[in-house]
Amino acid sequence: MSVAMIKAIASAEIRSTRRLARYWPFTILSVVFVSVVTGQTFFIHAMGSGLSASLGSLGPRYAIANAGFIAVILFLVSLIFLVFDIRHRDVRDRMVEVLDTRPITNIELVLGRCLALVFMTWLPMLFIFTVLQAFGFVATKLGIPGGTMEPYSVVSFLFAALSSLALWCALIAFLTLIVRNRLIVTLVAAAILIAQMWAMFMSPGFLAPSL
Protein backbone atom coordinates (compact mmCIF):
# COMPACT_ATOMS: atom_id res chain seq x y z
CA MET A 1 0.00 0.00 0.00
CA SER A 2 1.52 3.28 -1.16
CA VAL A 3 1.04 6.42 0.91
CA ALA A 4 1.88 8.56 -2.12
CA MET A 5 -0.84 6.84 -4.16
CA ILE A 6 -3.41 7.29 -1.38
CA LYS A 7 -2.48 10.96 -1.15
CA ALA A 8 -2.85 11.39 -4.92
CA ILE A 9 -6.26 9.71 -4.91
CA ALA A 10 -7.41 11.82 -1.95
CA SER A 11 -6.28 15.02 -3.69
CA ALA A 12 -8.15 14.08 -6.86
CA GLU A 13 -11.28 13.23 -4.87
CA ILE A 14 -11.14 16.57 -3.02
CA ARG A 15 -11.04 18.41 -6.35
CA SER A 16 -13.92 16.28 -7.64
CA THR A 17 -15.99 16.88 -4.50
CA ARG A 18 -15.51 20.64 -4.72
CA ARG A 19 -17.05 20.52 -8.19
CA LEU A 20 -20.10 18.53 -7.07
CA ALA A 21 -23.22 20.68 -7.26
CA ARG A 22 -24.81 19.07 -4.22
CA TYR A 23 -21.78 19.51 -1.94
CA TRP A 24 -22.07 23.26 -1.48
CA PRO A 25 -25.84 23.50 -0.76
CA PHE A 26 -25.55 20.76 1.90
CA THR A 27 -22.50 22.36 3.43
CA ILE A 28 -23.79 25.94 3.43
CA LEU A 29 -27.20 24.98 4.80
CA SER A 30 -25.62 22.86 7.54
CA VAL A 31 -23.21 25.63 8.56
CA VAL A 32 -25.97 28.24 8.62
CA PHE A 33 -28.39 25.99 10.51
CA VAL A 34 -25.91 25.05 13.25
CA SER A 35 -24.76 28.65 13.60
CA VAL A 36 -28.31 30.01 13.85
CA VAL A 37 -29.43 27.39 16.37
CA THR A 38 -26.35 27.97 18.52
CA GLY A 39 -26.73 31.74 18.29
CA GLN A 40 -30.37 31.42 19.31
CA THR A 41 -29.32 29.34 22.32
CA PHE A 42 -26.81 32.01 23.34
CA PHE A 43 -29.46 34.72 23.05
CA ILE A 44 -32.07 32.78 25.03
CA HIS A 45 -29.54 32.13 27.78
CA ALA A 46 -28.53 35.79 27.93
CA MET A 47 -32.12 37.02 28.08
CA GLY A 48 -33.66 34.42 30.39
CA SER A 49 -30.97 32.82 32.54
CA GLY A 50 -31.74 35.20 35.41
CA LEU A 51 -35.41 34.21 35.37
CA SER A 52 -35.29 30.45 34.87
CA ALA A 53 -32.87 27.75 35.96
CA SER A 54 -33.76 25.75 32.87
CA LEU A 55 -32.71 28.60 30.63
CA GLY A 56 -29.63 29.05 32.76
CA SER A 57 -28.54 25.53 31.83
CA LEU A 58 -28.26 26.64 28.18
CA GLY A 59 -25.02 28.49 28.89
CA PRO A 60 -22.48 28.88 26.07
CA ARG A 61 -19.77 27.02 28.01
CA TYR A 62 -21.41 23.63 27.43
CA ALA A 63 -23.22 24.45 24.17
CA ILE A 64 -20.98 22.02 22.31
CA ALA A 65 -23.21 19.15 23.46
CA ASN A 66 -26.28 20.40 21.60
CA ALA A 67 -24.55 22.18 18.72
CA GLY A 68 -22.15 19.30 18.17
CA PHE A 69 -24.93 16.72 18.06
CA ILE A 70 -26.83 18.73 15.43
CA ALA A 71 -23.67 19.24 13.38
CA VAL A 72 -22.73 15.55 13.43
CA ILE A 73 -26.20 14.44 12.33
CA LEU A 74 -26.33 16.98 9.50
CA PHE A 75 -22.91 16.08 8.16
CA LEU A 76 -23.54 12.34 8.48
CA VAL A 77 -26.58 12.87 6.25
CA SER A 78 -24.46 14.99 3.91
CA LEU A 79 -21.89 12.19 3.74
CA ILE A 80 -24.56 9.75 2.57
CA PHE A 81 -25.21 11.88 -0.52
CA LEU A 82 -21.50 12.27 -1.23
CA VAL A 83 -20.60 8.59 -1.04
CA PHE A 84 -23.72 6.77 -2.28
CA ASP A 85 -22.89 7.21 -5.99
CA ILE A 86 -19.11 7.19 -5.82
CA ARG A 87 -18.85 4.24 -8.24
CA HIS A 88 -21.58 5.57 -10.51
CA ARG A 89 -19.62 8.80 -10.95
CA ASP A 90 -16.70 6.80 -12.30
CA VAL A 91 -18.98 5.12 -14.82
CA ARG A 92 -20.65 8.39 -15.79
CA ASP A 93 -17.32 10.20 -16.24
CA ARG A 94 -15.85 7.18 -18.07
CA MET A 95 -13.14 6.77 -15.44
CA VAL A 96 -13.77 3.07 -14.78
CA GLU A 97 -11.46 1.88 -17.55
CA VAL A 98 -8.76 4.33 -16.50
CA LEU A 99 -8.90 3.24 -12.85
CA ASP A 100 -8.91 -0.43 -13.80
CA THR A 101 -5.73 -0.02 -15.84
CA ARG A 102 -3.83 1.96 -13.21
CA PRO A 103 -1.59 0.24 -10.62
CA ILE A 104 -4.01 1.06 -7.82
CA THR A 105 -5.21 -1.48 -5.30
CA ASN A 106 -8.80 -1.46 -4.08
CA ILE A 107 -7.65 -0.57 -0.58
CA GLU A 108 -5.70 2.46 -1.83
CA LEU A 109 -8.65 3.63 -3.92
CA VAL A 110 -11.27 3.26 -1.18
CA LEU A 111 -9.00 4.63 1.56
CA GLY A 112 -7.94 7.65 -0.48
CA ARG A 113 -11.49 8.53 -1.40
CA CYS A 114 -12.82 8.04 2.11
CA LEU A 115 -10.08 10.22 3.57
CA ALA A 116 -10.95 12.96 1.09
CA LEU A 117 -14.69 12.82 1.71
CA VAL A 118 -14.26 12.70 5.49
CA PHE A 119 -11.96 15.72 5.30
CA MET A 120 -14.43 17.64 3.12
CA THR A 121 -17.26 17.05 5.60
CA TRP A 122 -15.14 17.58 8.73
CA LEU A 123 -13.64 20.87 7.53
CA PRO A 124 -16.95 22.79 7.70
CA MET A 125 -17.42 21.55 11.28
CA LEU A 126 -14.00 22.91 12.18
CA PHE A 127 -14.99 26.20 10.55
CA ILE A 128 -18.29 26.39 12.44
CA PHE A 129 -16.86 25.91 15.90
CA THR A 130 -13.80 28.07 15.25
CA VAL A 131 -16.09 30.93 14.23
CA LEU A 132 -18.39 30.33 17.21
CA GLN A 133 -15.43 30.38 19.58
CA ALA A 134 -14.15 33.59 18.01
CA PHE A 135 -17.62 35.14 18.24
CA GLY A 136 -17.93 34.08 21.88
CA PHE A 137 -14.59 35.67 22.71
CA VAL A 138 -15.59 38.94 21.04
CA ALA A 139 -19.05 38.81 22.66
CA THR A 140 -17.61 38.62 26.17
CA LYS A 141 -15.41 41.63 25.44
CA LEU A 142 -18.26 43.69 24.02
CA GLY A 143 -20.86 42.60 26.56
CA ILE A 144 -23.30 41.21 23.99
CA PRO A 145 -25.13 37.84 24.24
CA GLY A 146 -22.72 34.98 23.78
CA GLY A 147 -19.68 33.35 25.28
CA THR A 148 -16.93 30.86 24.62
CA MET A 149 -17.44 27.13 24.76
CA GLU A 150 -15.21 24.97 26.94
CA PRO A 151 -12.04 24.63 24.78
CA TYR A 152 -11.14 21.06 25.71
CA SER A 153 -14.70 19.95 24.99
CA VAL A 154 -14.56 21.55 21.55
CA VAL A 155 -11.25 19.88 20.69
CA SER A 156 -12.46 16.51 22.00
CA PHE A 157 -15.67 16.85 20.02
CA LEU A 158 -13.83 17.61 16.78
CA PHE A 159 -11.67 14.49 17.14
CA ALA A 160 -14.71 12.38 18.04
CA ALA A 161 -16.62 13.78 15.06
CA LEU A 162 -13.70 12.92 12.80
CA SER A 163 -13.79 9.29 13.89
CA SER A 164 -17.59 9.17 13.50
CA LEU A 165 -17.39 10.53 9.97
CA ALA A 166 -14.63 8.05 9.09
CA LEU A 167 -16.62 5.05 10.33
CA TRP A 168 -19.77 6.29 8.61
CA CYS A 169 -17.96 6.87 5.31
CA ALA A 170 -16.42 3.39 5.47
CA LEU A 171 -19.86 1.87 6.08
CA ILE A 172 -21.47 3.66 3.14
CA ALA A 173 -18.52 2.79 0.88
CA PHE A 174 -18.96 -0.85 1.90
CA LEU A 175 -22.66 -0.64 1.03
CA THR A 176 -21.86 0.76 -2.41
CA LEU A 177 -19.60 -2.24 -3.06
CA ILE A 178 -22.21 -4.87 -2.19
CA VAL A 179 -25.30 -3.00 -3.46
CA ARG A 180 -25.11 -1.43 -6.89
CA ASN A 181 -28.43 0.41 -6.66
CA ARG A 182 -27.92 3.96 -5.40
CA LEU A 183 -31.45 4.31 -4.06
CA ILE A 184 -31.10 1.16 -1.96
CA VAL A 185 -27.75 2.34 -0.62
CA THR A 186 -29.30 5.66 0.39
CA LEU A 187 -32.31 4.03 2.04
CA VAL A 188 -30.22 1.47 3.94
CA ALA A 189 -27.78 4.13 5.16
CA ALA A 190 -30.65 6.40 6.22
CA ALA A 191 -32.33 3.49 8.04
CA ILE A 192 -29.11 2.69 9.92
CA LEU A 193 -28.69 6.34 10.94
CA ILE A 194 -32.31 6.61 12.11
CA ALA A 195 -32.00 3.34 14.03
CA GLN A 196 -28.86 4.55 15.76
CA MET A 197 -30.54 7.83 16.75
CA TRP A 198 -33.57 5.94 18.03
CA ALA A 199 -31.38 3.59 20.06
CA MET A 200 -29.48 6.55 21.51
CA PHE A 201 -32.64 8.34 22.64
CA MET A 202 -34.32 5.19 23.95
CA SER A 203 -31.34 3.65 25.73
CA PRO A 204 -30.54 4.26 29.44
CA GLY A 205 -28.19 7.15 30.16
CA PHE A 206 -25.25 4.95 31.15
CA LEU A 207 -25.28 3.30 27.69
CA ALA A 208 -25.35 6.58 25.75
CA PRO A 209 -21.55 6.86 25.26
CA SER A 210 -21.46 3.48 23.50
CA LEU A 211 -24.03 4.66 20.96
Minimum mean pLDDT range among 52-56, 65-69, 171-175: 52-56
Taking a C-beta distance cutoff of 8 angstroms, is the pair 163, 183 a contact?
no
pLDDT of residue 33: 92
At residue 126, the pLDDT reads 92
Q: What's the distance, CA 146 to chain centroid?
A: 24
What pLDDT is recorded for position 51? 66
Amino acid found at 78? S
pLDDT at residue 94 is higher than 60: no
pLDDT surpasses 90 at 102: no
Among residues 11, 34, 40, 23, the alpha carbon closest in space to that of 130 is found at 34
Q: Which residues contact 187 (CB under 8 A, 6 or more apart)?
A: none
145-163 tens-digit pLDDT: 777 888 888 899 999 999 9
Distances (CA, A) of 126 to 47, 84, 162: 28, 24, 10
Q: What is the pLDDT of residues 113-149, one digit of tens each?
A: 888 899 999 999 999 999 888 888 887 777 777 778 8
The amino acid at 198: W
Q: Is the pTM of this model over 0.75?
A: yes
Q: Residue 189 pLDDT more than 90? A: no
**Cβ neighbours, 10 Å, residue 108:** 21
Percent of the chain with pLDDT over 70: 82
**What are the backbone dihedrals phi and psi of residue 189, each rounded to the nearest 5 degrees, phi first?**
-65, -45
Please state, as a whole number, how many other Cβ atoms lie within 10 Å of the Cβ of residue 199: 13
